[in-house]
């Protein structure tokens, strides 16, 4: 009786504690990419839970059925050969489970590496997300603005992040919108995301990058596209322009609050070239055009300086 009440007390305590916990962000998706990954996680949890229950049930059955009995001391059990059916089940079922999960994982990887489902016919918003010790810089080249440590995005529109780093390797992660992807100093990684509903989300660097790693976070706010356009216009009217000197100050190690600028650092400090992982052919074509335009501008400036000299 005491054991029974002790078990009931433990179960009640666990349930009471868990009811006060907030849902895991990765299991509370707000976009198509995150929903795909959350479904895979729940599927894996379901399969593993079923396996654990079956294994423990078999363990209890074996312990009860083959428990010690009151046989004579000279009793010898009969010789038994291996059972082909049992061995096939023990080997075959794990192989089938691994094969099924592998198929699901590969299929999901193709989905999350492409434009979010349902957004294929919409023009993506391109955002360059670069990290430095220990802050995030978000450049909106089409809108001509830049933010530090916060990110505003429109809902119901595909988002295309171009990730790179001005310091150590970091990992860009917004758990409720999708999985993480690395940002490195010598290449650009492309991450496709989308937000289905307005809301405020947490973003962070998920890769250890030194003593300031714990506070290397940023705020994300998803809003209807009309509100996003109004915010862009407000920034253009009120924010100060970002200059090369100011950007060099921002790259210094340390923590900063939220900052907003007009223009982007891409004009004088472009992202790495040569590698663009995860981008489409059209993206690479636009990158080439940007590079050619930059090189053409540089050559024109050099020619002008030569003529003046």
**Residue 115: inside a domain:** no
Confidence of residue 291 (pLDDT cuts 50, 70, 90): very low
Angle at 181 between CA 175 and CA 186, to 5 degrees: 150
Tell me the pTM: 0.78
**Residue 268: inside a domain:** yes
**Residue 218: inside a domain:** yes
51-61 pLDDT, tens per residue?
999 999 999 99
Structural domain range at position 285:
125-293
Q: Is the pLDDT of residue 274 over 50?
A: yes
**Residue 265: inside a domain:** yes
Output the DSSP codes for 11-26: HHHHHHHHHTSPPPGG
Residue 125 near residue 142 (C-beta atoms within 8 A): yes
**Residue 92: inside a domain:** no
**Residue 30: inside a domain:** no
Q: Is the pLDDT of residue 225 over 60?
A: yes
Average pLDDT, the chain: 86
Q: Find where tokens 């029974």 sit.
A: 4
The CATH code of the domain that includes 228 is 2.60.40.420
> How far is it between the farthest Cα atoms of the chain?
112
DSSP state of 113: T
Give the number of domains in the chain.
1
């Amino acid at each position: 009786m005491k054991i029974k009440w002790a078990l009931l007390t433990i179960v009640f305590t666990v349930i009471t504690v868990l009811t006060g916990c907030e849902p895991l962000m990765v299991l509370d998706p707000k976009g198509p990419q995150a929903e795909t990954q959350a479904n895979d996680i729940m599927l894996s949890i379901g399969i593993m839970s079923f396996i654990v229950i079956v294994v423990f049930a078999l363990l209890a059955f074996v312990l009860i059925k083959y428990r010690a009995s009151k046989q004579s001391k000279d009793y010898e059990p009969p010789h038994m050969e291996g059972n082909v059916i049992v061995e096939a089940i023990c080997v075959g079922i794990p192989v089938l489970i691994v094969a099924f999960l592998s198929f699901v994982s590969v299929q999901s990887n193709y989905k999350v590496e492409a434009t979010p489902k349902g957004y294929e016919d919409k023009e993506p918003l391109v955002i360059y997300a670069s990290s430095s010790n220990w802050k995030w810089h978000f450049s909106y080249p089409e809108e001509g603005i830049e933010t530090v440590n916060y990110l505003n995005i429109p809902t119901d529109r595909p988002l295309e992040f171009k990730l790179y780093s001005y310091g150590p390797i970091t990992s860009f992660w917004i758990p409720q919108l999708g999985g993480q992807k690395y940002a490195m100093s010598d290449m650009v990684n492309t991450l496709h995301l989308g937000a289905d509903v307005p809301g405020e989300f947490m973003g962070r660097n998920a890769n250890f990058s030194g003593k300031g790693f714990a506070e290397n976070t940023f705020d994300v706010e998803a809003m209807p596209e009309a509100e996003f356009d109004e915010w862009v216009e407000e920034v253009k009217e009120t924010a100060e322009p970002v200059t090369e000197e100011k950007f060099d100050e921002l790259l210094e190690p340390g923590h900063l609050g939220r900052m907003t600028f007009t223009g982007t650092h891409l004009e004088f400090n472009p992202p790495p070239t040569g590698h663009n992982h995860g981008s489409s052919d059209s993206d690479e074509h636009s990158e080439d055009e940007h590079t050619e335009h930059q090189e053409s501008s540089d050559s024109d400036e050099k020619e002008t300086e030569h003529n003046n000299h």
